[in-house]
Amino acid sequence: MLFCAVVAAAGLLNTADAYTCVNAMVNALTQGLVLFGVTRLNDLRTQLHAARHELAEASVAEERERASRDLESVLGSSLSAIITLAAQGRTGDILTLARRAAARARQAPPRPGAAVFRRPHAPDWRSPSWWPRTWVS
């Protein structure tokens, strides 16, 4: 409502002829729409950042939950085997199993369905075969 009043006032303040009146009204209308668009764009950007933040937090929580399930699976089975070996008095086997369980717990299993990233082999820049032919004499 206020916007319409501003556009009408711009037209009424420029009553020299019809062209200046319409021109003033169109200018006020255009400036108002640009201002509305910029403020709306800023609001949408704020909402987008909030949604991205929520998605990132949910992804981190999901990944932590998966890692904890994997760790519990590795350590739970190993600890139950260690308890069984302790009941039998086999301390040498307990140490071996504990070391294996610790090594398995330190390994980060890849996410299911995720591609494993391998860094491509970088050529040795000191090797003459790497240099362009124009550099080699």
Residue 137's pLDDT is 47
Residue 46's pLDDT is 94
Residue 55's pLDDT is 93
Residue 136's pLDDT is 47
Residue 66's pLDDT is 86
Residue 126's pLDDT is 57
Contact call for residues 101 and 78 (beta carbons, < 8 A): yes
Mean pLDDT of each 10-residue bin along the chain, 137 residues long = 85 86 89 93 94 92 86 84 87 87 76 54 55 51
Q: How many residues does the chain have?
A: 137
Residue 11's pLDDT is 85
The token pair that represents 96 in the structure block: 């071996």
- Report how far residue 48's alpha carbon sits from residue 42's, in angstroms, rounded to the nearest whole number: 10
Contact call for residues 91 and 136 (beta carbons, < 8 A): no
Residue 99's pLDDT is 87
Residue 100's pLDDT is 86
Residue 48's pLDDT is 94
The token pair that represents 57 in the structure block: 């937090």
Give 32: exposed, middle or buried? Use CB within 10 Å, 0-12, 13-18, 19+: middle
Contact call for residues 85 and 94 (beta carbons, < 8 A): yes
